[in-house]
Amino acid sequence: MFSLNILLVAIACVTIPLVVASVMLDIFYAEKKQVRFSLRRTSMWYSCMFALSFIPSVLYMTLTK
């Protein structure tokens, strides 16, 4: 139960910077490719960053018990 609390706090602390990073990443991508800002593409960037950062940590926490 303690490790679940740590995981939830980590998710809460990292979620806001991930949202900001995904918006900035899409803005830079849109400027480089000369396309408009896309909320759908931003959510794709966010999903990729979320998966790359949290799936390994969740696997590590569940497999080390």
pTM for this structure? 0.62
SS (H, E, C) the chain: CHHHHHHHHHHHHHHHHHHHHHHHHHHHHHHHHCCCCCHHHHHHHHHHHHHHHHHHHHHHHHHCC
**Residue 33 pLDDT > 70:** yes
| pLDDT confidence of residue 65 | 64
